[in-house]
Amino acid sequence: MGKFDGKVVVITGASSGIGLASARAFAAEGASVVLAARSADKLKQAFCELSHKGQEAGRFIAVPTDVQKEDNCKRLIEAAVEKFGKIDVLVNNAGISMRAMFRDLDLIVLKRLMDVNFWGTVYCTKYALPYLLKSKGTVVGVISIAGFKGLPARTGYSASKFAIYGFLDTLRIEHLRDGLNVLVFAPGFTASNVRFAALTADGTPQGETPRDEAGMMSAETVAIKMVHAVYKRKSQVVLTPIGKLTVFLNKICPRLVDRLEYKYMSREPNSPLK
């Protein structure tokens, strides 16, 4: 018996990284999983992988979804309910990053970050909420340490993650008496494709990561911790030692954290801070 037998989990950004790892982890615990992502080809690969891993194929559906578009998010939720009749967990994981100084940034980049990261979360949550309230389920927002402390050369990313934090924190308070669980989940630096696809000042993907991905927490480890946090109905999780330390120190000596962050981020190869 899995922890999520009979439960229905909707995951955005499910074709790679934390999203795909989370789909595997929830499926391993018995959940039926609705996979959503913009890339239909990658989504099909993820669906085929899950369906052929000794799982019941009927426990999975894949719904191509661009979370920037409200109608896509509405269609995603409708497809989940049409197939399974309910939603128990919504994981708002779809997101993109950036790396550029604000002074050099084309504002369309910042808008796209907000459209995908913030509005994607809002749209999906809005349409899933009636079903989550009925099931007394959980809405998850995958943010970042950048949702607690601004990261230099990542203004759009930090702004979007702060916005998600504020949105979900308020949603939790509004539904304190409704049985809805709201989880703000901050993985910290995780080995995934997010830095490869991060946008530069003109909106083009940087195409490579400036960090040693091998030294980071794996997406699989992050996913296991997410599943556990949802099962325990936690309201906030911050992962990685550096993430926890940053959040803690920022409460007591924020100016020191400013300097440490600047020094840390400026060490990246080809850092915009140099």
| Catalytic positions, written as ranges | 157
Neighbours of 68 (CB within 10 A): 19
Instruction: Classify residue 167 as left (phi > 0), alpha (psi -120 to 50) or beta.
Output: alpha
Strands 217-218 and 190-191: parallel
List, edge to edge, every strand of the sheet that includes 138-142. 60-64, 32-37, 8-12, 89-92, 138-142, 181-186, 236-238
Quote the CA–CA distance of 251 and 230 in Å, as a whole number.
26
Tell me which residue of 54, 3, 53 sits closest to 29, measured CA to CA. 3
**What is residue 102's DSSP assignment?**
G
Quote the CA–CA distance of 162 and 152 in Å, as a whole number.
14
**What is residue 70's DSSP assignment?**
H
